[in-house]
Structure 1
Amino acid sequence: MSLLEKEWFIQAPWGRICIVAWGDCLDPPVLVCHGIIDSAASFRPLISLLPKKFYYVGMELPGNGKSDPFPPGVLFSSHDLLYAIVVVVRHFRWEKFVYLAHSFGSNLGKMYALTFPNKLTKIIELDPITVNGVTDHKNYTKWYQRSYDEYCRNYDKYNLPKEFGPKYKKEEAVAKLMKNRHLTKETAEATLERWSEPTGDGHIRFTFDQRSKIFVHYQISEKLAKELYTNIKIPTLALVADVSIDRGLYKTTPFCLDEKSYPAGNYRVRFVSGYHDVHVVKPEVLAPYISNFLLYGLQGLDNTAKL
């Protein structure tokens, strides 16, 4: 029996945040957060395989999925996106909850844990490669040019109303998404459906906020990143895709691959075979780890408890 899916909106200062939830609201909550230019739909295959004893609440970040974007004119940062999580948590009045996220959403989870250290009971990170604010002084120029300079030089492009944006044939957009993110046709169509709309002439246009491509990640050194993140004491499970490692995407954050880097002994990493969106394409590979962790915590990962 699959969990019932419901969708609605909650109000934020800048507009509406779309919520897609699965399960019974009386069960323990699990906040689910996607990565850059994505939607809650990407979690459907995985949620269907997880324990039915939890209430899974998927939020769509501003300018993603069906959520309203931030007001036009200003280049936003990861800290602005973090506040969207604050809005959702306050709306539900959660005292404690589990956090499950993919990619950049995992980075937001770390930021939330540092800001509100007593709210999270568990953290589950799915290929958390996007701690990409990690840099050194040699890359500062490149960082500024890639964000602020790029945005200001192309201000009109990044603030163009969606009605005037380029059009694409749906088949071409699906094929491109399948190629770039290694998705199946079915999962690519489900993902695309939440951040595109038909134009009435056989084409579609994208509805996600174009600023999502270049929003600001504040820069910190590798040393500071390690000091901050490895001192988060909340029980954490990281599921890391081998293709991401092979591509060098953890080069500046090798501590994410090493349980011994966490002095509290609260961190477990498990390596899985697949691309960055493995949770969409092969959720059956990740589900057993996540289920054991949700039900039994760190002991479940250490094989002292079984489903």
Structure 2
Amino acid sequence: MGLFSELKLAVPWGHIAVKIWGSQKNPPVLCLHGWLDNANSFDRLIPLLPQDFCYVAMDFGGHGLSSHYNPGLPYYHQNFVSEVRRVATAFKWNQFSLMGHSFGGSVGGMFACMFPEMVDKLILLDSTPFLLDFNEMENILTYKRRHIEQVLQVEASQKPPRAYSSEDLLQKLLSQNSHLNKDSGELLLQRGARKTAEGLVLNRDRRISLPENSFDFVSKELFVQATRRLQARVLMIKALQGFYDVRRVNDKHKEPLLFMVDTLRSILKERYQFVEVPGSHYVHMNTPRVVAGVISSFLQCLPPLSSSRL
């Protein structure tokens, strides 16, 4: 399935860039990338999925080819949730499916709970529908403070963005993310960087720093209440060598994930499917065939190919 088109959807601060595969007459699947990634995150997976759907991969604001937010406007988690609503409005979707990787899954999860009637299927790629405050209560105010300070620091800086050679920029990306292989890193940089006279410059907004600065952490009580609002069927794919926490220092503490899996299973029952697959956090890019089958079956409402418990 080849790329159908690229569009720029108008928003008050500029545009949201999207890539579209398939006919817009087909049921839509909106694809949400991870933190600091872009719509190219789905280039290898979507061609392996059923062709009787329309797949739309968006660049979040400040990412990829989408406009940066206006000066003085920070990037908050709910802003990204609002962008999903704007895209749905632009395409005049009354109901659609969501597929999100990492940060994109948490954005999609919050949207599906806030607008439950609009989402029929939610696919979480090494992601959870929310982040719990399980290990983070003492840190949340620190994150919020750091977010404000980061924005003010970038606004005060007059330095132009740093330019790199293509090889140096790729090595920088791979050194910062050991879960990406070389081909996947190159694919993300095709959309995530632009050529200048000095070399390649990253497209992303420098006001975006660490993901925990802009995530919304929720309590266990709120997670339970939000899950009860879900009308969607939910597929959670967990990469065995992936991430378990937004902060790597907590990555060995799996209690939050266990709580979410048990809660989703208890409340959603047959509408919830949990699958573990071999691979890293970027399994959907590095080895997309590992997840393509289970996603295809889920989209087509076929019996699960496989399922497992933590």
TM-score range, shorter chain: 0.7 to 0.9
Q: Compare 167-176 and 104-113 and name the one that shifted more.
A: 167-176
Matched, 1:28 2:22: no
The DSSP-based 3-state class of the residue aligned with 1:300 is coil
Q: CA deviation at 1:36?
A: 0.8
Q: 188, 203, 208: which one pairs with 2:204? A: 208
Counterpart for residue 124 of structure 2: 125
Q: Structure 2: 5+ residue runs without aligned partners?
A: 245-250
Q: CA deviation at 1:161?
A: 8.0
Q: 143, 147, 150: which one pairs with 2:146? A: 150
- CA 1:163/1:20 → structure 2, altered by over 3 Å: closer, same or farther? farther
Q: TM-score, normalised by structure 1?
A: 0.87
Counterpart for residue 176 of structure 1: 172
Q: Is the 8 A contact 1:103 1:130 kept in 2?
A: no
Counterpart for residue 192 of structure 1: 189
Q: CA deviation at 1:54?
A: 0.8
- Residue by residue, what CA displacement relative to the aligned partner does 1:265-302 show, whole Å, maximum 9, x if unpaired? 3110100111111100010000000111111x2x4216
Counterpart for residue 275 of structure 2: 270
Counterpart for residue 58 of structure 1: 57
The DSSP-based 3-state class of the residue aligned with 1:252 is helix
Q: Is the 8 A contact 2:297 2:304 kept in 1?
A: yes
- Residue by residue, what CA displacement relative to the aligned partner does 1:128-169 show, whole Å, maximum 9, x if unpaired? 14833x216x8445222223x224434454337897122223
- CA 1:28/1:207 → structure 2, altered by over 3 Å: closer, same or farther? same
Compute the RMSD of aligned alpha carbons. 2.4
Q: CA deviation at 1:264?
A: 4.0
Counterpart for residue 286 of structure 1: 291
- CA 1:49/1:160 → structure 2, altered by over 3 Å: closer, same or farther? farther
Q: CA deviation at 1:244?
A: 2.9
- CA 1:199/1:48 → structure 2, altered by over 3 Å: closer, same or farther? same
- CA 1:276/1:190 → structure 2, altered by over 3 Å: closer, same or farther? same
- Residue by residue, what CA displacement relative to the aligned partner does 1:9-38 show, whole Å, maximum 9, x if unpaired? 010122100010111111111111111111
Query: Sequence identity, in percent?
Result: 28
The DSSP-based 3-state class of the residue aligned with 1:176 is helix
- Cα distance in 2 for partners of 1:105, 1:261 equals 24
The 5 Å alignment of 1:58-97 reads 58-97=57-96
The DSSP-based 3-state class of the residue aligned with 1:212 is coil
The DSSP-based 3-state class of the residue aligned with 2:83 is helix
- Cα distance in 1 for partners of 2:267, 2:281 equals 24
Aligned residue pairs total 296
Q: TM-score, normalised by structure 2?
A: 0.86
Q: Compare 274-283 and 150-159 and name the one that shifted more.
A: 150-159
Q: 227, 240, 243: which one pairs with 1:242? A: 240
The 5 Å alignment of 1:10-29 reads 10-29=9-28
- Cα distance in 2 for partners of 1:161, 1:40 equals 29
Matched, 1:252 2:250: no
